[in-house]
Amino acid sequence: MKPRVLVTGGGGIVGSTWQHAAPTADMELRVAGRSTLDITDERQVREAVDAFKPHFIVNAAAFTRVDDAETQREQAYRVNVTGAEILARQAERTGAVLIHYSTDYVFDGKRRQPYREDDPANPLNYYGLTKWLGEEKIRETIQKHYIIRTAWVYGGFGHNFIRLVLDLAARHKTLRFVNDQTGSPTAADDLTDFTSFLIRNADAPFGTYHCSHLGEITRYDQARFIVRTMGLNTEILPVPASYFNPPALRPPYSVLSKEKIIHLLNRRPKNWESGLYDTLKKYYL
């Protein structure tokens, strides 16, 4: 029997990738956007779960606007903490496994070596705090869970970094990108692949996993690679984060360690250049 998989947040970068691009022939997949499944509405979640009876609930719904979360605290908390708890409760009630996405922004970025799954969290901004509290609610509520922390997710859909760079490049000759925050980006295709692996492999131990590409880069490096690969003449200049002075602080270093998934998958993830090239080729070139 094919596993029934219910994905929330269907309109986002990751949810749309589940909807349109993930190899899911061996699953019975239902992807729900916010208009049909609001994860903060427990009655709606209960009804959706009772109707579809998923074996896996994949939570790709979140309040992800990092700067807005500083001022829209109640809303960010409701989606990222209460919503996660509601899904955990309904998964637990029905025996489903909950797979939940979280973020490198749970870390403060004060170290200079990749963060492991069990390193202490210390979020610098309210978005990161809500994502951490959401993780903790899940750990308290349901044993059968996977929390996948990912970072700098881009892809073929939604408001993602590639789209941002291309939209800006269409309007400006020179662009500025931050060069003093280092992270490890992730293609949404590779994130859904890893999630599918967990769904297909019943013996993958429950718990927290980090999923991003190999390598350590800044947004400046990433933007330069996009512009060059797309054959554009846009000039990309490096600037410190303070140049934009955004409301939310970001960690100066948030590279995720890949040791645990390398051990689980018995192979290394793509490096950041090939991950980015593959996505550009598939969706943009």
Catalytic residue among 101, 127, 220, 253: 127
Angstrom distance (rounded) from CA 17 to CA 149: 17
**144, amino acid identity:** K
Q: Does residue number 34 form part of the binding site for ligand NAP (CB under 6 A)?
A: yes
Instruction: Return the DSSP state at 2.
Output: P
Going by their DSSP bridges, the two strands 145-150 and 153-154 should be labelled as unpaired
Place of tokens 């610098």: 124
Binding map of ligand NAP across residues 66-85, x = CB under 6 A, - = no contact: -------------x---x--
Q: Does 130 bind ligand NAP (CB under 6 A)?
A: no
CB burial of 24-56 (b: ≥16 within 10 Å; e: otherwise) equals beebebbbbbbeebbbbebeebeebbeebebbb
Q: Strand, helix or coil at 110?
A: coil
Rounded least distance, CB 156 to ligand NAP, Å: 12
Question: Nearest approach, Cβ of 181 to ligand NAP (angstroms)?
Answer: 13
Interacting positions 41-60 with ligand NAP (CB under 6 A): 60
Please say which residue, 2 or 29, places its beta carbon nearer to ligand NAP. Answer: 29
* Out of 5, 7, 9, 132, the residue judged to bind ligand NAP by CB under 6 A: 9
183 forms part of the interface with ligand NAP (CB under 6 A): no
Residue closer to ligand NAP, measured from CB, 13 or 162? 13
Residue nearest to ligand NAP (CB): 12
Closest of 57, 26, 46, 139 to residue 90, by C-alpha: 46
How far is Cα 132 from Cα 100, in angstroms, rounded to an integer? 12
Please identify, using beta-carbon distances, which residue of 15 and 215 lies nearer to ligand NAP. 15
Query: Is 127 considered catalytic here?
Result: yes
CB nearer to ligand NAP: give 56 or 63. Answer: 63
